[in-house]
């Protein structure tokens, strides 16, 4: 089972797609949104289980996916990483098929390809199998959902599997940069942004904790069952209702165990991470908007990051084409409980100081209405629309996209996504930047090797001083601009008097 760090959206767009923006895809948003509402069928059963059906008769296969609103966001220190461990136990014996060998044999009989993922705000399980086996597949999914056995021997065995996944994740130097930033950015509740979890918590986990997760979170009114593929919508809903209709509604999990908000970052912090890397990387990370509280800002964030990814953008020209950085990127990850906004860059070791300074100055320009062109704004919207179309290319993968948005933002957010992007204005982008980035505290993380740090004689104190120096420079620039504008306004406001010449004087000339 995969531990999942979902990217905002896959970068599937070739340079040619940028040119499409100038041909014009202005109607993609509205038309496609209506088409998707016609294609995607959603219905809620009496027990609160939402059923989504995406028909696609191109191949005789079907994907069944169960998604639960659970994950790191629901975990305190005692449960850190246990949503992920529970995901592993989902694919073990249950009351209907208690024997693990028989369980796996049934999977083979049904022709299933199966997996699951755990992320910050979603846990999902999915089977793809021949459409003739849909009813049997739904029955299989039902028993796995409502009656897991949590066998002690299998439980201990799966802990070892999770340890192996953690070892692989932690073998990447970038993992430690992400972790250092996460712990500081979400300082009050860092476990709630950490799907992998702490290995000592995993080691000490009990079957009783698994049962607690089952009782609180695995209830129909906190879940969605999606069927995608070669199936008629009405028939699919009827099949699901027949199999899952008896699943008993539970209490609202988030009234039973409320999720705390992440408090604002009180001050800018820096962290230097030493790992074996050839090319240093740094990242500036802010607490971004919540899709529940400020959906408009999430749309503006998406459009802005696609503006900045364009090779012609001032961002790329000033940081990459100038050869200050090897690469530079802006990202935002949509989340209900605030997602991170970040700017990152890869740099040569001898340009770290210059690149950090240049990036901080570049960030200051993001709210400038002249920082990007109308053509770049429209190209960004088009790239996002085309990217969304590509995400639907494979129905089984599209199912994962839909359930991610269901869990994090709600299905309507996704269905209205492209029209909402098309409506984004310069003012919307400026508001997002002003509210969530400019003058807001952030975390600066730098990843480099011990040898590079020693050669550069670089410290966290010096990084903090670089940040302070740039802030002073920015403040001085702002003050100078304000004074210049005040002088210009004064000159405009001050009346100009030219002595009137008398008619006699004029006549005497």
Q: What pLDDT, on the 0 to 100 scale, is given for residue 22? A: 36
- Say whether both 249 and 282 belong to one domain: no
- Say whether both 334 and 237 belong to one domain: no
- Say whether both 187 and 53 belong to one domain: yes
**Does residue 385 lie within any of the structural domains?**
yes
Q: What CATH code is carried by the domain that includes residue 234?
A: 3.30.830.10
Q: From CA 343, how far away is CA 366, in angstroms rounded?
A: 12
- Say whether both 385 and 309 belong to one domain: yes
**Composition of the chain by helix, strand, coil, percent to 5:** 55, 15, 30
Tokens of 508: 């005497």
Domain count, the chain: 2
Q: In the beta sheet, which residues pair with residue 340?
A: 287
Q: What pLDDT, on the 0 to 100 scale, is given for residue 264? A: 98
- Say whether both 280 and 249 belong to one domain: no
Tokens of 62: 């079907």
Residue whose tokens read 């802005």 = 304
Q: From CA 150, how far away is CA 90, in angstroms rounded?
A: 9
Q: Residue 272 gets which letter from DSSP?
A: E
Contacts of residue 194, Cβ cutoff 8 Å, sequence gap at least 6 = 72, 75, 80, 81, 179, 182
**Does residue 363 lie within any of the structural domains?**
yes
Q: In the beta sheet, which residues pair with residue 225?
A: 51, 66
Q: In the beta sheet, which residues pair with residue 55?
A: 229
> The domain containing residue 135 runs over which residues?
2-6+28-256
- Say whether both 213 and 66 belong to one domain: yes
Which of the listed residues 213, 231, 256 is the one where a domain comes to its end? 256
Q: What pLDDT, on the 0 to 100 scale, is given for residue 16? A: 39
Burial class (CB in 10 A: 0-12, 13-18, 19+), 263: exposed
* Strand segments (E) across 418-462: 443-448
**Does residue 509 lie within any of the structural domains?**
no
Q: What pLDDT, on the 0 to 100 scale, is given for residue 105? A: 97
- Say whether both 219 and 307 belong to one domain: no
Q: What pLDDT, on the 0 to 100 scale, is given for residue 11? A: 35
Among 17, 6, 5, residue whose Cα is nearest residue 387:
17
Which of the listed residues 231, 256, 281 is the one where a domain comes to its end? 256
Q: From CA 66, how far away is CA 291, in angstroms rounded?
A: 22
**Does residue 505 lie within any of the structural domains?**
no
Q: From CA 71, how far away is CA 494, in angstroms rounded?
A: 63
Tokens of 337: 């409980």
Among 445, 474, 432, residue whose Cα is nearest residue 332:
432
- Say whether both 189 and 243 belong to one domain: yes
- Say whether both 248 and 276 belong to one domain: no
**Does residue 496 lie within any of the structural domains?**
no
pLDDT in tens, the chain (509 residues): 544 433 334 333 333 343 333 333 333 233 355 578 889 999 999 999 999 999 999 999 999 999 999 999 999 999 999 999 999 999 999 999 999 999 999 999 999 999 999 999 999 999 999 999 999 999 999 999 999 999 999 999 999 999 999 999 999 999 999 999 999 999 999 999 999 999 999 999 999 999 999 999 999 999 999 999 999 999 999 999 999 999 999 999 999 999 999 999 999 999 999 999 999 999 999 999 999 999 999 999 999 999 999 999 999 999 999 999 999 999 999 999 999 999 999 999 999 999 999 999 999 999 898 999 999 999 999 999 999 999 899 999 999 999 999 999 999 999 999 999 999 999 999 999 999 999 999 999 999 999 999 999 999 999 999 999 999 999 999 999 888 888 777 777 655 555 444 343 344 43
Sign, Cα dihedral of 11, 16, 22, 28: negative
Q: What pLDDT, on the 0 to 100 scale, is given for residue 181? A: 98
- Say whether both 320 and 375 belong to one domain: yes
Burial class (CB in 10 A: 0-12, 13-18, 19+), 209: middle
- Say whether both 239 and 287 belong to one domain: no
Q: From CA 120, how far away is CA 69, in angstroms rounded?
A: 10
Q: What pLDDT, on the 0 to 100 scale, is given for residue 7? A: 38
Q: What pLDDT, on the 0 to 100 scale, is given for residue 493? A: 63
Q: From CA 304, how far away is CA 209, in angstroms rounded?
A: 42
Rg over CA atoms, the chain: 27
Q: What pLDDT, on the 0 to 100 scale, is given for residue 33? A: 55
- Say whether both 417 and 319 belong to one domain: yes
Question: What CA–CA distances, in Å, run from 48 to 99, 138, 247?
Answer: 31, 17, 10
- Whether the CB-CB separation of 458 and 354 falls below 8 Å is answered with no
**Does residue 494 lie within any of the structural domains?**
no
**Does residue 79 lie within any of the structural domains?**
yes
Sign, Cα dihedral of 388, 389, 392, 393: negative
The CA-CA-CA angle for residues 351, 353, 356, to 5°, reads 100
**Does residue 495 lie within any of the structural domains?**
no
């Amino acid at each position: 089972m995969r531990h999942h760090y979902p990217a905002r959206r896959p970068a599937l767009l070739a340079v040619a797609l940028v040119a499409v923006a100038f041909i014009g895809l202005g109607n993609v948003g509205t038309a496609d949104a209506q088409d998707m509402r016609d294609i995607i069928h959603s219905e809620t059963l009496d027990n609160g289980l939402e059923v989504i059906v995406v028909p696609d008769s191109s191949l005789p296969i079907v994907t069944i996916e169960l998604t639960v609103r659970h994950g790191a966001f629901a975990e305190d220190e005692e449960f850190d990483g246990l949503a992920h461990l529970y995901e592993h136990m989902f694919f073990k014996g249950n009351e209907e098929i208690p024997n693990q060998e028989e369980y796996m044999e049934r999977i083979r009989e049904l022709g299933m390809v199966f997996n699951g993922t755990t992320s910050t705000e979603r846990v999902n399980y999915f089977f793809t199998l021949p459409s003739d086996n849909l009813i049997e597949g739904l029955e299989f999914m039902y028993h796995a959902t409502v009656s897991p056995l949590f066998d002690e021997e299998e439980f201990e065995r799966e802990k070892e599997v999770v340890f192996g996944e953690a070892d692989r994740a932690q073998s990447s130097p970038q993992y430690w940069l992400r972790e250092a930033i996460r712990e500081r950015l979400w300082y009050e509740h860092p476990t709630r942004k950490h799907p992998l979890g702490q290995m000592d918590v995993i080691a000490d986990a009990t079957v009783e904790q698994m049962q607690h997760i089952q009782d609180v979170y695995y209830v129909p009114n906190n879940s969605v069952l999606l069927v995608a593929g070669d199936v008629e919508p009405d028939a699919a809903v009827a099949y699901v209702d027949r199999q899952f209709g008896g699943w008993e509604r539970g209490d609202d999990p988030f009234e039973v165990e409320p999720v705390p908000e992440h408090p604002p970052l009180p001050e800018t912090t820096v962290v230097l991470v030493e790992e074996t890397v050839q090319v240093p990387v740094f990242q500036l990370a802010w607490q971004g908007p919540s899709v529940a509280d400020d959906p408009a800002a999430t749309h503006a964030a998406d459009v802005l990051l696609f503006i900045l990814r364009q090779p012609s953008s001032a961002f790329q020209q000033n940081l990459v084409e100038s050869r200050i950085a090897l690469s530079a990127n802006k990202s935002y990850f949509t989340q209900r409980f605030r997602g991170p906004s970040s700017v990152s860059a890869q740099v040569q070791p001898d340009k770290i100081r210059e690149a950090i300074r240049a990036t901080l100055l570049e960030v200051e320009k993001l709210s400038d209405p002249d920082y990007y062109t109308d053509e770049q704004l429209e190209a960004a919207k088009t790239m996002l629309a085309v990217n969304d179309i590509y995400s639907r290319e494979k129905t089984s993968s599209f199912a994962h996209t839909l359930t991610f948005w269901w869990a994090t933002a709600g299905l309507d957010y996704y269905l209205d996504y492209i029209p909402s992007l098309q409506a984004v204005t310069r003012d919307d982008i400026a508001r997002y930047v002003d509210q969530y980035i400019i003058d807001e505290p952030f975390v600066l993380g730098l990843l480099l090797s011990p040898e590079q740090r020693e050669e550069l004689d670089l410290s966290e104190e010096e990084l903090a001083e670089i940040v302070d120096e740039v802030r002073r420079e920015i403040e001085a620039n702002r003050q100078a601009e304000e004074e210049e504008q005040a002088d210009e306004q004064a000159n405009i406001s001050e009346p100009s008097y030219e002595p009137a010449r008398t008619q006699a004087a004029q006549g005497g000339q």
